[in-house]
Amino acid sequence: MEFNKLSIEKSVSGKRGIKFPSAQKASKYLKTSSLRQKTPNLPQMSEFDVIRHFTNLSRLNYSLDTHFYPLGSCTMKYNPRAYEALAGLDNFTAAHPFADASFAQGTLEVMYNLERTLSELCGFEEFTLQPAAGAHGEWTGVLIAKAFHADNKDAARTEVIVPDTAHGTNPATANMGGLNVINIKSGADGCVDLEELKKSLGPKTALVMLTVPNTAGLFEKNIKKIAEAVHAAGALLYMDGANFNALIGLAKPGEWGVDILHLNLHKTFSTPHGGGGPGAGVVGASKNLAKFLPGPKVVKDGKNFKFEYDKNSIGRVKAFYGNAAVLLKAYCYVRQHDADTFKEIAENAVLNANYIKEKLKEIFPAYFDGTCMHECVLTIDKEKLRGVRTLDIAKRLLDYGFYAPTIYFPLIVPEAMMIEPTETESKDVLDKFTEAMKQIFMEALQTPALPADAPQRSPVRRIDEVSAAREPNLRW
């Protein structure tokens, strides 16, 4: 098939898109030895051929512009193009990062206003905009906790408690911060087992890290009791707020007793991050911890804005002052919505996830029963489906024009399918998706070879994923 061919395979001798003048002689700036002696082995194609080649390749990509992405708010939600245009204005992009504050008043004003808005939305004293991504924000939170305990002359606190429903970066960043990780199992309801937590709390506990909503898509219903127990033990409560689109406008973590919180602006606040692009893992702190936040911070001095340093600060965690373009796009997002709209965003995110869960409960039941938040985590009965696995269902979805959801995560759910539609998808799209899932279920019952050998219709068929991961061939 033509679209399976590489550009070099489409090469035709004599075709060209542009003709470069040949170097007749060397100059004082370019020695003869620097000139290429042999013609490079490049595809010989017309300019039109090249355009068609790459345009057709782009059409083979799954993207939010073309397909439903049930991967969720991990940047797979709609991001308004207008924000990109505003963040790309010369007034912002042409500013030198070492420019004096007096030459960057507009940018500093945006950062100041964003920080104050996030503090109000989340119920915290202050935020720092420096961290470059969620895990970076977690690491910053760990450093803040260590600084707090050091300030209290409490050097014995060297442990971090992390439930098994936390994001995997939580224990990793705690370890990077020089603290020992204590894992605790969740209860039968998928939430933190309060009694298990109390058993693990002690004089060595520096921090308890909760992902809220957790990776099972559930809200920690005992959050206030958890906060009370953590504080009674002299420790701090950290919240991973990466999936804040389930809570924005509905609740303020600072009012639950959370001490430190990170938000992924490249998730909830509509700034694209897919493909490893720049992110922002801003961190909020309660009143007694604000002085430890990274410096410098932007403050308002009369009508002007400037950087200010606090002697108690943990110092910089990133060069310059965060990823400015990402912060600008997030600022556009918060300015476009009011309190009622934020509430509607969260309600729609929760409604969409529960709608999918209810539509599929007879064939792919939720592992934890009850109302979920921004995502539902479903599972399958492999015996009933004649050996068809979650991986097969995910691959078969590609044939139906849908990208696959996150699978086999969280680890506590067997054959997990984590489906997060986000607040931006319509009921019509969700109906088409659930109908495709029902069709795949029937295929698994009647013709299991179809999903087992999926995808059937994509340019590249199923690969040996284990070999691809362990022995990647990065050259053609």
| Mean pLDDT, range 181-199, rounded to an integer | 95
3-state secondary structure (DSSP) of residue 83: helix
3-state secondary structure (DSSP) of residue 234: coil
pLDDT band at 193 (very low <50, low <70, confident <90, very high): very high
Residue 188 falls within a domain, yes or no? yes
Residue 25 falls within a domain, yes or no? no
Per residue in 218-247, pLDDT (tens digit) is 999 999 999 999 999 999 999 999 989 999
Alpha-carbon dihedral 71, 74, 77, 82, rounded to 10 degrees: -160
Q: What is the 3-state secondary structure (H, E, C) of 361-413?
A: CCCCCECCCCCCCCCEEECCCCCCCCCCCHHHHHHHHHHCCECCCEECCCCCC
Indicate if 351 and 318 belong to the same structural domain. no
The β-bridge partners of 305 are 300
Residue 149 · residue 184 · CB < 8 Å: no
Residue 279 · residue 266 · CB < 8 Å: yes
Residue 132 falls within a domain, yes or no? yes
Indicate if 193 and 325 belong to the same structural domain. yes
| Mean pLDDT, range 175-192, rounded to an integer | 94
**Contacts (Cβ under 8 Å, ≥6 apart) of 351:** none
How far is Cα 143 from Cα 242, in angstroms, rounded to an integer?
Answer: 19
pLDDT confidence of residue 26: 60
pLDDT at position 464 over 90: no
How far is Cα 306 from Cα 299, in angstroms, rounded to an integer?
Answer: 6
Indicate if 237 and 308 belong to the same structural domain. yes
Average pLDDT over the chain, rounded to an integer? 91
Residue 77 falls within a domain, yes or no? no
pLDDT band at 72 (very low <50, low <70, confident <90, very high): low
Domain of 226, CATH number, reads 3.40.640.10
Indicate if 251 and 378 belong to the same structural domain. no
Most confident of 4-13, 244-253, 375-384, 464-473: 244-253
pLDDT band at 75 (very low <50, low <70, confident <90, very high): low
pLDDT at position 273 over 80: no
How far is Cα 475 from Cα 226, in angstroms, rounded to an integer?
Answer: 51
pLDDT confidence of residue 384: 87
Residue 345 falls within a domain, yes or no? yes
pLDDT confidence of residue 81: 87
pLDDT confidence of residue 148: 98
Please report, for residues 228, 273, 322, 360, the alpha-carbon distance to residue 152 in angstroms, rounded to integers and kept in the order given: 19, 38, 29, 52
Residue 84 has a CB neighbour count (10 Å cut-off) of: 15
Per residue in 118-155, pLDDT (tens digit) is 999 999 999 999 999 999 999 999 999 999 999 999 99
Residue 328 · residue 183 · CB < 8 Å: no
pLDDT at position 275 over 90: no
Indicate if 219 and 306 belong to the same structural domain. yes
Q: Which residue has the tokens 């409960």?
A: 361
Domain of 362, CATH number, reads 3.90.1150.10
pLDDT confidence of residue 457: 87
Q: Sign of the C-alpha dihedral, residues 231, 183, 144, 102? A: negative
Indicate if 104 and 159 belong to the same structural domain. yes
pLDDT confidence of residue 312: 96
Indicate if 363 and 386 belong to the same structural domain. yes
Per residue in 308-351, pLDDT (tens digit) is 999 999 999 998 888 999 999 999 999 999 999 999 999 999 99
pLDDT at position 161 over 70: yes
Indicate if 347 and 279 belong to the same structural domain. no
The gap from C-alpha 266 to its chain's centroid, in whole angstroms, comes to 6
Q: Are strands 205-211 and 159-163 parallel, antiparallel or unpaired?
A: parallel
Most confident of 12-16, 150-154, 276-280, 317-321: 150-154
| Mean pLDDT, range 193-218, rounded to an integer | 96
pLDDT confidence of residue 1: 56
pLDDT band at 276 (very low <50, low <70, confident <90, very high): low
The residue among 279 and 435 whose pLDDT is bigger is: 435
Per residue in 418-444, pLDDT (tens digit) is 999 999 899 999 999 999 999 999 999
Residue 388 falls within a domain, yes or no? yes
pLDDT confidence of residue 227: 98
Q: Which residue has the tokens 């410096």?
A: 295
Domain count, the chain: 2
pLDDT confidence of residue 3: 63
pLDDT at position 17 over 80: yes
Dihedrals φ, ψ of 399, to 5°? Answer: -70, -25
For residue 278, give the nearest of 266, 267, 261, 269 by alpha carbon.
266
Residue 229 · residue 197 · CB < 8 Å: yes
Q: Sign of the C-alpha dihedral, residues 411, 462, 382, 443? A: positive
pLDDT confidence of residue 74: 66
Residue 243 falls within a domain, yes or no? yes
**Contacts (Cβ under 8 Å, ≥6 apart) of 350:** 246, 371, 372, 373, 374
How far is Cα 148 from Cα 152, in angstroms, rounded to an integer?
Answer: 6
pLDDT confidence of residue 316: 95
Per the structure, the complete domain to which residue 406 belongs is given by 340-470
> How many Cα atoms within 13 Å fall on the side-chain side of residue 400?
25
pLDDT at position 29 over 90: no
Per residue in 298-319, pLDDT (tens digit) is 999 999 999 999 999 999 999 8
Residue 348 has a CB neighbour count (10 Å cut-off) of: 17
Indicate if 459 and 310 belong to the same structural domain. no
Radius of gyration of the CA atoms of the chain, in A: 26
Indicate if 184 and 305 belong to the same structural domain. yes
Indicate if 158 and 182 belong to the same structural domain. yes
Per residue in 374-406, pLDDT (tens digit) is 999 999 988 888 889 999 999 999 999 999 999
Residue 169 falls within a domain, yes or no? yes
> How many Cα atoms within 13 Å fall on the side-chain side of residue 253?
34
pLDDT confidence of residue 35: 74
**Domain boundary at 282, 313, 336, which?**
336
Indicate if 328 and 355 belong to the same structural domain. no
**Domain boundary at 303, 336, 369, which?**
336
pLDDT confidence of residue 24: 57
DSSP state of 420: B
Alpha-carbon dihedral 231, 372, 261, 111, rounded to 10 degrees: -150
**Domain boundary at 336, 361, 379, which?**
336
**Contacts (Cβ under 8 Å, ≥6 apart) of 464:** none
How far is Cα 372 from Cα 349, in angstroms, rounded to an integer?
Answer: 10
How far is Cα 290 from Cα 310, in angstroms, rounded to an integer?
Answer: 10
